[in-house]
């Protein structure tokens, strides 16, 4: 088997054949029971996961077994000891594979400052793909059973429960689902529905376009500019441009994955939760975290933030709860000081917004209301955060922030606010448009003499415009023409864009988490 086949990602031809076969068998007349459908899904999920590395199957089987057994014990007797043991087991496995070397190296450095020389043993192991996602899902199940949030008959079927843990559309990069959403859907027979297949395919093709046409191409140029660094001609401007490209890349990469996951699952008759709700249109940094990676933040809210007291405690303790959540969130993304710094940065930004009494805009019915100034300010905070997230070391991060990102982000934000304010005045509207256009052209001239190289930015602009136009719709991500010819023309255009996009063999960013 080739390496490409072993890593069966959503954007590979192997996955297309795999899914077509699984989908076809799934809805055969012989599969008219929930048990048979779940057995097929479980087998397909283990095949899908085993293609990465068959040794990873033992780990997910162990997590499934311990969580299932502890769940059955908790349904008989709400024992804090049983729940605690299973949570410790799952966190221990995650810490061993993901954080052992990181904490060991830093502990060794800390002890060396006191005169102790410790030769820490490093474990050369591969991080199992998706371990953070299915581990959190298993921990959430254990806590839900202990709390009594799951009815007694749920999770008693081992095939059904194993399918919940290993369900392949959301296994390796989420969304992190709660048992009360998935288990009831696995209990009943799923029948083929034309509407589900059509809407699922629409979602898949949109996600593929985000990943292949936009994210992967952004990633190529981001890596090239990042390797050059600040010590080149116009290095500060180029690095700022690279951070902007990465901001587009990570959004299209992760949200594209979730679109494919939700679309594939929809075709199988199972509805997953929305993991992205147009976060780049957020009108405040508080709203951003209600719309970015929704499943992860809801997990932290339910199992960390609220148990610590949430906001129903003293002000200082409330702030400490926020700091705790964001520091753990940063560490969840990877064993790196830059991720921890990213979490600390967002904790400060979030607390500052709370202190300034910025609106969180939690009501989804208000999503169509526009606050362009709030969106610009919140995106400036988001982009600065991505510079920290993308950095490989603290020294690189500090240099990037001080010499490039912070001053240029502040200047760009000020320029955008002034330009928009001027454009609201009829007398200077044209001047504002001309100034904005001239600035964009000048930036491209400075960056490269081959503007066509950045064609994918046109796709990114169109993608964000479509998501803006459909921002009040929780499912459809782009407007569809009513005319059938125009609609199929749009499908063909997106499909051909995916096929003709330069191949990069780039994995999804969140697979490393």
224-277: per-residue pLDDT in tens? 999 988 888 888 888 999 999 999 999 999 999 999 999 999 999 999 999 988
147 and 202 inside one domain: no
Q: How many domains does the chain have?
A: 3
Q: Can 333 be counted among the known catalytic residues?
A: yes
Q: What is the pLDDT of residue 499?
A: 87
Burial (0-12, 13-18, 19+ Cβ within 10 Å), 369:
exposed
Q: Which residues contact 7 (CB under 8 A, 6 or more apart)?
A: 51, 52, 507
CA 212 – CA 489 distance, rounded (Å):
19
Q: What is the pLDDT of residue 433?
A: 55
**Do residues 259 and 204 make contact, with C-beta atoms less than 8 angstroms apart?**
yes
pLDDT tens by residue, 440-463:
565 555 555 455 567 788 888 888
**Do residues 98 and 132 make contact, with C-beta atoms less than 8 angstroms apart?**
yes
**Phi-psi group of 269: left, alpha or beta (phi > 0 → left; psi -120 to 50 → alpha; rest → beta):** left
| Structural domain ending residue among the three candidates 192, 225, 256 | 192
157 and 30 inside one domain: yes
61 and 94 inside one domain: yes
**Do residues 401 and 384 make contact, with C-beta atoms less than 8 angstroms apart?**
yes
| Structural domain ending residue among the three candidates 393, 428, 447 | 447
Tokens of 38: 């779940």
Q: Which of 218, 215, 212, 210 is nearest to 241 (CA)?
A: 218
Q: Tell me, what DSSP letter sits at residue 403?
A: I
144 and 239 inside one domain: no
The three-state DSSP-derived secondary structure of 240-264 is: HHHHHHHHHHHHHHHHHHHHHHHHH
Q: What is the pLDDT of residue 426?
A: 52
42 and 181 inside one domain: yes
CA 419 – CA 437 distance, rounded (Å):
11
Bond into 175 cis (ω within 30): yes
CA 269 – CA 22 distance, rounded (Å):
13
Distances in Å between the Cα of 205 and the Cα atoms of 52, 294, 505 are 24, 22, 18
- Taking the chain (513 residues) in consecutive chunks of 10 residues, what is each chunk's mean pLDDT? 52 88 93 92 92 84 93 88 93 83 65 62 66 92 90 76 93 88 92 91 92 91 89 87 93 92 94 91 91 92 92 91 94 88 95 89 67 88 95 92 91 81 58 58 54 74 85 71 82 86 79 72
**Do residues 115 and 41 make contact, with C-beta atoms less than 8 angstroms apart?**
no
**Do residues 204 and 260 make contact, with C-beta atoms less than 8 angstroms apart?**
yes
| Backbone phi, psi, residue 121, to 5° | -80, 120
CA 206 – CA 506 distance, rounded (Å):
18
442 and 293 inside one domain: yes
Q: What is the pLDDT of residue 2?
A: 34
Q: What is the pLDDT of residue 142?
A: 93
**Do residues 290 and 274 make contact, with C-beta atoms less than 8 angstroms apart?**
no
296 and 162 inside one domain: no
296 and 412 inside one domain: yes
**Do residues 102 and 125 make contact, with C-beta atoms less than 8 angstroms apart?**
no
CA 157 – CA 41 distance, rounded (Å):
14
CA 288 – CA 376 distance, rounded (Å):
12
**Do residues 472 and 90 make contact, with C-beta atoms less than 8 angstroms apart?**
no
Name the helix (H) or strand (E) containing 173.
Answer: none
231 and 218 inside one domain: yes
CA 163 – CA 34 distance, rounded (Å):
11
Q: What is the pLDDT of residue 200?
A: 92
Q: What is the pTM of this model?
A: 0.87
| Structural domain ending residue among the three candidates 150, 169, 192 | 192
CA 91 – CA 387 distance, rounded (Å):
29
307 and 199 inside one domain: no
395 and 292 inside one domain: yes
Tokens of 24: 């076809």
Q: Tell me, what DSSP letter sits at residue 304?
A: I
Q: What is the pLDDT of residue 4?
A: 37
Q: What SS3 class is residue 314?
A: coil
Q: What is the pLDDT of residue 427?
A: 47
301 and 356 inside one domain: yes
> Maximum CA pair distance of the chain?
76
Tokens of 489: 């023309």
- Can you give the residue range of the structural domain that contains 186? 3-192
Q: How many residues in total does the chain contain? A: 513
Catalytic residue among 293, 316, 333, 476: 333
**Do residues 33 and 79 make contact, with C-beta atoms less than 8 angstroms apart?**
no
């Amino acid at each position: 088997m080739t390496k490409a086949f072993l890593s069966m990602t959503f954007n590979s031809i192997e996955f297309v054949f795999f899914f077509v076969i699984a989908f076809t068998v799934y809805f055969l007349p012989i599969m008219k029971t929930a048990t048979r459908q779940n057995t097929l899904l479980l087998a397909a999920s283990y095949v899908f996961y085993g293609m990465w590395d068959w040794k990873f199957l033992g780990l997910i089987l162990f997590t499934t077994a311990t969580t299932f057994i502890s769940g059955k014990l908790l349904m008989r007797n709400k024992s804090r000891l049983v729940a605690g043991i299973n949570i410790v087991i799952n966190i221990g496995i995650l810490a061993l594979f993901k954080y052992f070397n990181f904490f060991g190296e830093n502990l060794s450095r800390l002890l060396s400052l006191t005169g102790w020389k410790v030769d820490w043993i490093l474990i050369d192991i591969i991080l199992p793909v998706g371990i953070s996602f299915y581990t959190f899902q298993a921990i959430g199940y254990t806590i839900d059973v202990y709390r009594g949030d799951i009815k007694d008959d749920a999770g008693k079927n081992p095939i059904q429960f194993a399918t919940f843990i290993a369900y392949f559309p959301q296994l390796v990069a989420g969304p992190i689902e709660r048992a009360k959403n998935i288990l009831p859907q696995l209990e009943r027979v799923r029948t083929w529905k034309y509407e589900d297949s059509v809407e699922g395919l629409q979602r898949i093709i949109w996600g593929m376009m985000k990943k292949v046409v936009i994210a992967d191409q952004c990633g190529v140029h981001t890596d090239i500019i990042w390797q050059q660094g600040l010590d080149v001609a116009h290095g500060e401007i180029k690095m700022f441009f690279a951070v902007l490209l990465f901001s587009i890349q990570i959004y299209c990469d992760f949200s594209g994955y979730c679109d494919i996951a939700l679309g594939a699952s929809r075709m199988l008759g199972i509805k997953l939760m929305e993991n992205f709700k147009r976060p780049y249109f957020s009108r405040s940094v508080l709203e951003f975290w209600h719309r970015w990676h929704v499943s992860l933040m809801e997990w932290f809210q339910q199992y960390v933030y609220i148990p610590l007291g949430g906001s129903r405690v003293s002000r200082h303790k409330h702030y400490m709860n926020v700091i705790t959540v964001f520091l753990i969130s940063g560490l969840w993304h990877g064993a790196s000081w830059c991720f921890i710094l990213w979490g600390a940065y967002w904790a400060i930004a979030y607390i500052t917004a709370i202190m300034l009494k910025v609106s969180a805009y939690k009501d989804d019915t208000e999503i169509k209301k526009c606050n362009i100034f709030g969106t610009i300010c919140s995106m400036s905070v988001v982009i600065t955060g991505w510079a920290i997230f993308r950095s490989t070391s603290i020294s690189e991060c500090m240099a990037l922030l001080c010499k490039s990102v912070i001053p240029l982000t502040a200047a760009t934000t000020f320029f955008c606010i002034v330009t928009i304010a001027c454009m609201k005045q009829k007398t200077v509207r044209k001047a504002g448009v001309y100034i904005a256009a001239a600035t964009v052209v000048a930036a491209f001239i400075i960056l490269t003499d081959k503007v066509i190289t950045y064609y994918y930015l046109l796709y990114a602009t169109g993608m964000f415009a479509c998501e803006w136009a459909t921002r009040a719709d929780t499912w459809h991500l782009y407007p569809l023409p009513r005319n059938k010819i125009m609609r199929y023309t749009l499908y063909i255009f997106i499909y051909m864009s995916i096929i003709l996009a330069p191949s990069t063999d780039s994995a999804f960013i969140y697979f490393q988490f």
